[in-house]
Amino acid sequence: MMRLKMFTFSPLQENTYLLWNEKKEAIIIDPGCYFTAEEEALQSFVEEHQLTPVQLLNTHCHLDHVFGLKWTAKQYNLIPHMHPVAEKELSFAPSSGLSWGMPFSNYEGPVEHVNDGDTISIGDEILTVIHAPGHSPGSICFYSEKHKLIIGGDVLFFQSIGRTDLPGGNHAQLLKSIKERLFTLPDETVVYSGHGPKTTIGSEKRNNPFLREIA
């Protein structure tokens, strides 16, 4: 049995996810904690539930998804896992922070690369990596077939889609990724996005105004 907790961090309202199994081994995805109080909220939850973080993952590395990467990696002695292209995004994050008026101390340590089709596991729980570029070239999603859920980053939102006006963004590619990589999943698959509430694949096929041409 896998459990999930969503935190919403920073003025950019980014969703950080914590998943854990029956042995209390945990995965942290997209640590976006910007303020000390947000770091403390994540740490307190981990301690209260007696969890042991064993994996640190990023769907992509835009600034709001990596605000807390340095702190989280140090706090739990973890190496971030991301798509190879996302490592470049990470290096650009501090300059983006300055342009947004949100300076931060960036993670500069080692990273592990994951690619399309790779699997991330904690015990018997498995997440499959789905490369879904468009919002950013290195965007990936983490899919649990067993639990019918996907941690989708900024690819697909509740009745919206990821923006494509940032460097490396490509609207046509994003639509292709959603159609060929996400809309092929079962309709009941729950989508946990990088911002906003959860949704389902089926709901977005029916109701997302940005996707009528592909649904």
CATH number assigned to the domain comprising residue 183: 3.60.15.10
pLDDT band, very low/low/confident/very high, at 11 (cuts 50, 70, 90): very high
Q: What percent of the chain has pLDDT over 70?
A: 100
Using the predicted structure, report yes or no on whether residue 1 has a pLDDT greater than 90.
no
Is 214 domain-assigned?
A: no
Average pLDDT, the chain: 97
Mean pLDDT of 51-68: 98
| pLDDT for 200 | 98
pLDDT band, very low/low/confident/very high, at 109 (cuts 50, 70, 90): very high
Is 213 domain-assigned?
A: no
144-183 confidence digits (pLDDT tens): 999 999 999 999 999 999 999 999 999 999 999 999 999 9
| pLDDT for 14 | 98
| pLDDT for 213 | 81
φ and ψ of 15, to 5 deg: -90, 120
Is 80 domain-assigned?
A: yes
Return all residues near 204 (Cβ < 8 A) that are at least 6 apart.
156, 158, 159, 183, 191, 211, 215
Is 215 domain-assigned?
A: no
Mean pLDDT of 73-101: 96
User: In which domain, by residue range, is 21 found?
Assistant: 3-207
| pLDDT for 188 | 98
Rounded to an integer, what distance in angstroms lies between the CA atom of residue 25 and that of residue 45?
13
| pLDDT for 214 | 82
For CA atoms 190, 196, 141, 185, the dihedral sign is positive
Q: Beta partners for 151?
A: 142, 192
Using the predicted structure, report yes or no on whether residue 215 has a pLDDT greater than 80.
no
| pLDDT for 49 | 98
Mean pLDDT of 135-146: 98
Using the predicted structure, report yes or no on whether residue 195 has a pLDDT greater than 90.
yes
pLDDT band, very low/low/confident/very high, at 79 (cuts 50, 70, 90): very high
Using the predicted structure, report yes or no on whether residue 45 has a pLDDT greater than 90.
yes
Number of domains in the chain: 1
| pLDDT for 40 | 98
